Amino acid sequence: MSFYESHIFPPVMEWATRGFRRQIADLIGQAEGRVLEIGAGTGANLGFYQSSVREIVGIEPVETMLEKARGVARSTGHGVPISLTTGDARALPFADADFDTVVACLVFCTIPEPEKAAQEAFRVLKPGGRLVFFEHVVSPHGTTRAWQNRLNPLWRKMACGCEINRDTRALFEAAGFRYESIDDFIHPKVPALVAPVIAGVAFKP
């Protein structure tokens, strides 16, 4: 892992995604029971969990991000036990039907082979368990979509694997999820290339 990926990109990512946090906080209030947060990053969401959650398990492949997330975990104050480990969402080190909720925020844009991660999220959820998600996605509008496709190779390099043109809605459906609620909107406070967002709750039938 390069110095850019481990030390420069994480604070840039935190700064660049701050416009999304209020909605993410509202959404994460829907998590309950034993929760797995995939790609927990620097722990930006760990303080948002509510008393409906019994335990939070976070996985994240970048060790420098995990170190920061551990500091955040110690200072959350909500009292829910949090464990954070190195891991890859494409091969989760958990048994089938181990979690009530999987949380995925701004992560399916970055995971290589995201279809594998969606299948893994589905596998580790109990039947009836829920995927709480907030993801920037491919634009429904032709002009923005064309720019997303054009700039994606450059963006991917600068943003450590993040892709701006993924159809994550279809990806979740293909993995077997059904939507309980899905908000599909253009975020007003972030650059146009990452403004198309899907946010909501999907469940494992």
* 111 near ligand SAM (CB under 6 A): yes
Amino acid at 108: F
Nearest Cα to Cα of residue 180 among 117, 101, 98: 101
Question: Contact region for ligand SAM (CB under 6 A) — 39-47, 138-146, 172-180, 187-195?
Answer: 39-47
Select from 13, 131, 175, 197 the one that contacts ligand SAM (CB under 6 A): 13
* 137 near ligand SAM (CB under 6 A): no
CA dist 73 and 51 (Å) reads 15
Question: Contact region for ligand SAM (CB under 6 A) — 32-40, 146-154, 175-183, 189-197?
Answer: 32-40
Select from 105, 121, 175, 201 the one that contacts ligand SAM (CB under 6 A): 105
Least spacing, CB of residue 116 vs ligand SAM, in Å: 9
Handedness of CA 20, 198, 183, 25 (dihedral sign): negative
Select from 23, 61, 151, 192 the one that contacts ligand SAM (CB under 6 A): 61
* 62 near ligand SAM (CB under 6 A): yes
CA angle 204, 110, 27 (to 5 degrees): 50
Question: Where in 61-136 does DSSP place strands (E)?
Answer: 82-86, 99-105, 125-136
